[in-house]
Amino acid sequence: MRVSLKDVAERAGVSVKTVSNVVNNYPHVTPAMRARVQQAIDELGYRPNLTARHLRKGRTGIIALAVPELGNPYFAELAGHVIDEAARHDFTVLLDHTQGRRELELLVCQGFRARVMDGLILSPLELETEDLRGRAEETPLVLLGERRYDLPYDHIAIDNIAAARQAVGHLLDLGRRRIAFLGAREDRAQQPAHLRLLGWRAELADRGVPVDEALVGYSEGWERADGAAAMARLLDSGQRPDAVFAYNDLIAIGAMRVMSERGLRVPEDVAVVGFDDVTESRYGAVTLTTIAPDKRAIARLAVESVVKRLDAVHGDGGVPESQEMHPAFSLVERESTRGRGGR
């Protein structure tokens, strides 16, 4: 038999309204009363009816997360954190895969599935400002990634230029001077690849190291095979770097495979730094030094942004102003730059 709010109220000796306030985490409950009600909840095994709770607020209880590639470990790990954070607020996450295609990004942000979701967290690659300027859908939208739209939507992204500079600075501190950048793109100047390339150039220039554009390796994609191909082209062109800063961990892993096949040792001959700190970077034959964005913080900020905007609709505090949020990142040093034992 399902335990009701009334059952909990009778066990705790309080009103049903007080139990409801505790269950919904309203602030106007004394700590002693909250503990008393929580004890009754635990003793009876009460579980709230989340569907009914959301319906009373005019919600579905679903937040959508749309990313370019679910097969990419970074987005897969980020999605896991978003799911965990959403669960803390009693929301379920609907995952969508846009393949980085403009028509699919337009579809999700212009109201596709709007009837089944309360908010959208979107990581766009191809959308332009004008695509979002005319957005008629009122569902809260949070943007992830480095493209900036100068529009009233919360935007969450780490500082890619600063992160790239830290990665390159680490290699320079190790005495490396011919540092290649792998994973550059010819298109989309505001994409992360371009910002990380800017960081590569800026750190070299500021440290008095010549910026050799022949050490920039371009790629069509950001998978392991793209990194392998970019590294092979670089070596075949006669360029021999003593270090590589890769757009992401997958590019770096592909590049290290080619180095191994060509008889180059990591890090003795070529030190390597990746970006994203995906799980795979910790378990290769040579573990990968990488820039680690705080993926958990990104997920937390994104979900909280949606929830705050939903709560504002039912409150009297007004809709909060849009924000630019910059979660932390860190450099994680492993064998690909320090060698085994941190040499």
Confidence of residue 295 (pLDDT cuts 50, 70, 90): very high
Q: What is the pTM of this model?
A: 0.81
In the prediction, which pLDDT does 136 show?
67
- Domain residue spans of the chain: 1-41, 57-158+295-327, 160-293
Give tens-digit pLDDT for 150-187. 888 999 999 999 999 999 999 999 999 999 999 998 87
Query: What tokens were used for 9?
Result: 């109220």
Q: Point out which residues pair with 179 in neighbouring strands.
A: 243
**What is the number of residues in the chain?**
343
In the prediction, which pLDDT does 126 show?
84
CATH of the domain spanning 57-158+295-327, picked from 3.40.30.10, 3.90.1580.10, 3.40.50.2300, 3.90.180.10: 3.40.50.2300
CATH dotted code for 160-293: 3.40.50.2300
CATH dotted code for 1-41: 1.10.260.40
Give tens-digit pLDDT for 39-58. 888 887 777 655 545 444 55
In the prediction, which pLDDT does 52 show?
47
Q: Which of 236, 245, 244, 294 is nearest to 269 (CA)?
A: 244
Is the separation of the CB atoms in 109 and 122 below 8 Å? yes
Give tens-digit pLDDT for 220-276. 888 999 999 999 999 999 999 999 999 999 999 999 999 999 999 999 999 999 999
Topology alike, domains 1-41 and 160-293 = no
